[in-house]
Each structure stands twice: as structure tokens, then as C-alpha cells.
């Protein structure tokens, strides 16, 4: 396991469903149109969140808690993004690297505790660099539905894709244009949070973004749930995915890296992340199509190779793909050109920011070419390289002296979420402006979740006080370590 652990709606919405008679919901008869085109305005919000992963949902919830009418638009038919749609089940530790000081609270902590209570998540050692908790991602999906439907101020739009932004002459974004079953519709809002991962809305709003060349973007992974791995591992001590995936292996895919873990609550199933889609820019439609198909082809190749090399026998069924994640797991695509770019030194030195929106302790973790590189906050550096015999080799070194003082957590500043020139759009999630190394650490979900919460609070403040994006946040969303958020 490894980014971490190893081994292992029509026009007239039925307002009653959302308990929301207060909504301005318009149908085909509505006269309001966006300026300059025929797109009907289907909803008027204070805050519009584009993208509904945990990042986007947490942003929507925090803004609604401050009395905002919120629209949340999600391309898929469910909330949860990479976790639910990509099947990625690991949330990293909410503690600093000592495992003794809690640095992350808020909705991440609340949901984690709820799932643990219902035995839908299991906690790991808080000092582990690999995993803080393993979640049953379907349970997470149910929890996110509950969070959204519990707040009548939130109007969800599922199976809805944001395709354009409308702006007024002063540069303020006025509408998000979505396409869904009812065709092309507009959501009017005073403030927008782009949580699409790929910064789609920032681009549509004409804000500046950047990206690495395909060859330098982190690789992506199509994840799956497999059956039969547990019995195979029990009966064949010589079984390992490394042998199959590594150089010379039956399903050699040009890399040797894989990870997996249990599926909480489903003892006979195994989560598997062993595909690797490189040189793929998921913000390009053609690359995304190729990536999705390549991921599934790799998965089939791996499972077929496992069954060839370790044929099923008496009393043991073949290894089978029980489910393929509906979304390719995207590690990186566009980044925004923000007021600040987070650096490797900010992360490794644990730089403090007065506009902190998130704290984290996850190591720098870069999936590149054939290997993977880790920089730990405690000074260690590890690089995994493929060797000829199908095995992997970990090259271990240090980026700082053993006896040097090391930070036990780092901070992420609000200004890295604010695109240059933006009046009323901020971003939250993996499109954050960060150097290659810094990004390797801050991209994980416990960090993105906090960015979402802080962005929701900043958006609410901006709307209430009439503030511009750059001035909307006062650093107050994230409490001191050890203190619970809200
Ligand atoms: C294989 C893999 C393993 C990983 N392992 C871990 C791990 O163990 N732990 C960890 O914490 N992190 C891990 N990560 C990283 C982490 O999962 C992601 O960085 C993080 O989830 C990104 O969150 P996000 O909200 O920014 O984006 P996403 O999760 O990508 O969410 C974006 C959401 O926006 C929606 N969307 C996109 N475009 C549009 C549009 N135009 N209109 C409407 N909706 C749109 C998408 O459908 C999606 O729901 C892993 C990533 C991968 C790929």
C-alpha cells in the first residue's frame, strides 16, 4: 500500500426532497436567462461549488452552516470523487508524525469516527506514514449523501457537468453553466468554489492554470476490488503481485509498484491498486479516454497473468475482478496559477502561515516513471526502483541530517487556493498551486478535505462581507493543533 499502505435532477425540482421551500427553483417557464444567451437559470445560490468529492461536499456543508444557499454540481451520480468513484480507501493520519498530537479535526475527523463506530472504517497507528484509517468507500458515499441532504440550504446537482462560466464586465463570475438531463442550464451565484480536481471551472472562468508535461505528471491508477486473493495468498506462499508486474513478469507493465488493502466489512475481498497509467494528462479529453481504457486493459492483463501463473485448484476459485472503479484514479492534472505556490521547503521545514487552511503530516510521495519517491518529514528519503528479476529495490538516503530538528507537520496557505486575478472564484483540492515535491505531500484527501472546509467558510465570509477572493479568509477555520474545529 502506498500512496500510502502496502500489501494491501426535472426542471422543477421537488423541493420537498430537500426540505427547501426557500429555494428559487425555476423550470422551463422561468423568464430569467443568462446575459447574451438562452440558457435558463435553474437556481440562484450564494455559493456554487463545482465538483462533489469530499473536498466539494465539505466546502458546501461549511458554507451552508454559515447560512449560505449552496449549489453543488457533480459530474457523477454520487459524491466522493476519487475515494468513492476511484475506490481509494485510505485517509492518512490526523496526527503529526509523532502520532501524539492531533493536527486535523473537522468533518474528516467526524466522518472517520462515525464510520469506525459503525465498523465501516478501521483505524491504524496514528504515527504510520502509510495509513490513518481504511474506509469502506460505499459507507463514505452514504455518509456524504446524508451530510448533503441533512442541510436544506444545499441544492445538489448530480450527473451534472459544469461546462462554462459567465462573467460580468468587472470580471466577476455570475453563472456556472451546467449540462445535465434537462439540457444546458445556469446556476447564478455570488461566489464560486472550483473543486473539480482538474480546475475545469477556473479555466472556464478565464483564470490562469499550468501543468507539467505529460511525461512529468504523476502517474494515474485504475483501482479494483478483487476476489480470491486471500485464499491464493494463504495457499501459495510464493504468490506476489511484484513477480507478475515487475520486469520480466507475466504482466510486466513498465513498473513494479502496487499496493492494496482489505475492503472493510467484506472479508473475502481485496482492494488492489496495481495499474499505472503514465504520460497521461487527464485534463485532455483524449488522454482521459485512453487512460480509462488502458487502466482496465492493464487490470485484465494482471488478473489473467495471476491465474496463469497460479492456476486455481481444487477448492480454490480463480482470482476475479469483482468491481472496477468507475473513475480512473487521477493523481495530477492542472494546477492553478495562484497568489502563492507551495514549495518543497515549505513542506519539509513545516513553514507556518497566517492564512493556514489545512495542516498535514503526509510525506512527499511522487509516482514517477517506473518508481516512486518518498521524502519523510523526519529527514529520510526513499526511492523505489524496478530491478531485472521482477523485484523492487528501495534506495534509502537522507535529505537532512539525522540529528537536525525536523517539523512534525506542515501547513497549507489560503493564498495557494486563490487564482491570480480572481474576483469571486477560489479553488480547493488537487489543483492547488504547488511545486512537484510539495504537491506530492499535500494532494492527499485529509488535506484536500480541510481545504474544502476552509474554502466554504471563506466563501461565506466573502458573500456576507462583500469581500474579494483574495481577502476572504482570515486564517480562523483551522484551530490550533489539539483543538477541535467547530
Ligand atoms: C490511485 C490513487 C491512490 C491514492 N491514494 C491515496 C491515499 O491513499 N490517501 C489519500 O488521501 N489520497 C490518495 N490519493 C490522492 C487523493 O485521492 C486525491 O489527490 C484527492 O482525492 C483529490 O481530491 P479532489 O477533491 O481535489 O479531486 P477529485 O477526487 O478528483 O474530485 C473531483 C470531483 O469533481 C468532479 N468533477 C470533475 N470535473 C467536473 C466538471 N467539469 N463538472 C462537475 N464535476 C466535475 C469529479 O467527478 C470528482 O467527483 C490517491 C490518488 C490516486 C489516484
Contact, 321 vs 274, CB < 8 A? no
Percentage, residues of the chain above pLDDT 70: 90
Is 388's pLDDT higher than 80? no
| pLDDT in the model for residue 390 | 61
Q: Model confidence over 423-433: pLDDT tens digits?
A: 999 999 999 99
| pLDDT in the model for residue 33 | 65
Cell readout for 185 is 442550464
Q: Model confidence over 326-344: pLDDT tens digits?
A: 999 999 999 999 999 999 9
Angle, helix 137-150 to helix 54-65, in steps of 10 degrees = 20
Q: Is the CB of 425 under 6 A from ligand 1?
A: no
Place of cell 451546467: 178
Contact, 192 vs 178, CB < 8 A? no
Mutate to test the pocket of ligand 1, among 4, 7, 51 (most ligand atoms within 8 A of CB): 51
| pLDDT in the model for residue 250 | 78
Distance 281 CA to ligand 1 centre (A): 14
Q: Model confidence over 264-306: pLDDT tens digits?
A: 999 999 999 999 999 999 999 999 999 999 999 999 999 999 9
Contact, 73 vs 219, CB < 8 A? no
Percentage, residues of the chain above pLDDT 90: 81
pLDDT band at 112 (very low <50, low <70, confident <90, very high): very high
As a whole number of angstroms, the distance between CA 376 and CA 362 comes to 8
Q: Model confidence over 182-221: pLDDT tens digits?
A: 999 999 999 999 999 999 999 999 999 999 999 999 999 9
Cell readout for 277 is 497509467
pLDDT band at 129 (very low <50, low <70, confident <90, very high): confident
Length of the chain equals 486
Contact, 34 vs 446, CB < 8 A? no
154: which residues sit within 8 A by CB, 6+ positions away? 18, 60, 61, 64, 70, 71, 72, 148
Q: What is the CATH number of domain 15-211+412-471?
A: 3.50.50.60
Q: In the 8-state DSSP scheme, what is residue 16? A: H
Instruction: Give nearest CA residue, ligand 1 atom 10.
Output: 444
Distance 442 CA to ligand 1 centre (A): 13
Pick the atom of ligand 1 nearest to 445's CA: 11
What is the pLDDT averaged over residues 85-114?
96
Q: Model confidence over 238-263: pLDDT tens digits?
A: 898 888 887 777 777 777 678 999 99
Q: Where are the domains of the chain?
A: 15-211+412-471, 215-324
As a whole number of angstroms, the distance between CA 377 and CA 95 comes to 13
Q: Is the CB of 52 under 6 A from ligand 1?
A: yes
φ/ψ of 302, rounded to 5, equals -65, -50
| pLDDT in the model for residue 455 | 98
Query: Alpha carbon of 328 to those of 50, 87, 161, 282: distances in Å?
Result: 19, 9, 17, 9
| pLDDT in the model for residue 73 | 99
Cell readout for 15 is 423541493
Contact, 65 vs 151, CB < 8 A? yes
pLDDT band at 486 (very low <50, low <70, confident <90, very high): low
pLDDT band at 236 (very low <50, low <70, confident <90, very high): very high
Distance 58 CA to ligand 1 centre (A): 14
What is the pLDDT averaged over residues 395-400?
96
| pLDDT in the model for residue 18 | 29
Q: Model confidence over 166-183: pLDDT tens digits?
A: 999 999 999 999 999 999
Mutate to test the pocket of ligand 1, among 129, 192, 217, 445 (most ligand atoms within 8 A of CB): 445
Q: In the 8-state DSSP scheme, what is residue 46? A: S
Amino acid at each position: 500500500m502506498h500512496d500510502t499502505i502496502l500489501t494491501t435532477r426535472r426542471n422543477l425540482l421537488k423541493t420537498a426532497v430537500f426540505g427547501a421551500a426557500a429555494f428559487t427553483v425555476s423550470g422551463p417557464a422561468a423568464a430569467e436567462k443568462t446575459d447574451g444567451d438562452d440558457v435558463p437559470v435553474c437556481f440562484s445560490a450564494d455559493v456554487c461549488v463545482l465538483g462533489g468529492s469530499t473536498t466539494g461536499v465539505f466546502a458546501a456543508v461549511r458554507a451552508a452552516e454559515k447560512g449560505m444557499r449552496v449549489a453543488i454540481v457533480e459530474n457523477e451520480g454520487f459524491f466522493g470523487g476519487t475515494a468513492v468513484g476511484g475506490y481509494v480507501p485510505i485517509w492518512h493520519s490526523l496526527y503529526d508524525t509523532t502520532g501524539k498530537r492531533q493536527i486535523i479535526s473537522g468533518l474528516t475527523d467526524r466522518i472517520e469516527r462515525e464510520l469506525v463506530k459503525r465498523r465501516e472504517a478501521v483505524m491504524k497507528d496514528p504515527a504510520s506514514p502509510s495509513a490513518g484509517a481504511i474506509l469502506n468507500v460505499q459507507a463514505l458515499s452514504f455518509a456524504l449523501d446524508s451530510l448533503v441532504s441533512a442541510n436544506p440550504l444545499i441544492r445538489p446537482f448530480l450527473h451534472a457537468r459544469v461546462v462554462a462560466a459567465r462573467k460580468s464586465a468587472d470580471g466577476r463570475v455570475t453563472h456556472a453553466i451546467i449540462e445535465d438531463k434537462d439540457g444546458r442550464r445556469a446556476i447564478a451565484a455570488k461566489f464560486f468554489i472550483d473543486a473539480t480536481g482538474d480546475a475545469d471551472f477556473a479555466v472556464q472562468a478565464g483564470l490562469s492554470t499550468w501543468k507539467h508535461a505529460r511525461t512529468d505528471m504523476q502517474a494515474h491508477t485504475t483501482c479494483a476490488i478483487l476476489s480470491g486473493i486471500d485464499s491464493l495468498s494463504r495457499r501459495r506462499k510464493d504468490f506476489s503481485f511484484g513477480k507478475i508486474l515487475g520486469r520480466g513478469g507475466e504482466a510486466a507493465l513498465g513498473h513494479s509498484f502496487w499496493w492494496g488493502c482489505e475492503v472493510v466489512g467484506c472479508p473475502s475481498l481485496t482492494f488492489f491498486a496495481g495499474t499505472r497509467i503514465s504520460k497521461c494528462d487527464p485534463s485532455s479529453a483524449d488522454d482521459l479516454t485512453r487512460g480509462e481504457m488502458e487502466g482496465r486493459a492493464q487490470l485484465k492483463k494482471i488478473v489473467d497473468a495471476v491465474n496463469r501463473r497460479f492456476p486455481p485448484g481444487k477448492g480454490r476459485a480463480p482470482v476475479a475482478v469483482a468491481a472496477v472503479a468507475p473513475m480512473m484514479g487521477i493523481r495530477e492534472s492542472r494546477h492553478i496559477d495562484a497568489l502563492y505556490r507551495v514549495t518543497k521547503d515549505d513542506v519539509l521545514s513545516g513553514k507556518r502561515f497566517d492564512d493556514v487552511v489545512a495542516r498535514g503530516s503526509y510525506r512527499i510521495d511522487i509516482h514517477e516513471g517506473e518508481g516512486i519517491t518518498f521524502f519523510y518529514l523526519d529527514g529520510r528519503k526513499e526511492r523505489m526502483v524496478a530491478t531485472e528479476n521482477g523485484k523492487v529495490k528501495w534506495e534509502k538516503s537522507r535529505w537532512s541530517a539525522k540529528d537536525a530538528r525536523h517539523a512534525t507537520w506542515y501547513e497549507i496557505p489560503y493564498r495557494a487556493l486563490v487564482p491570480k486575478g480572481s474576483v469571486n472564484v477560489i479553488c480547493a483540492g488537487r489543483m492547488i498551486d504547488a511545486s512537484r515535491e510539495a504537491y506530492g505531500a499535500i494532494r492527499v484527501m485529509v488535506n484536500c478535505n480541510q481545504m474544502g472546509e476552509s474554502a466554504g467558510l471563506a466563501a461565506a465570509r466573502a458573500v456576507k462581507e462583500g469581500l474579494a477572493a483574495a481577502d476572504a479568509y482570515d486564517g480562523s477555520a483551522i484551530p490550533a493543533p489539539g483543538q477541535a474545529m467547530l
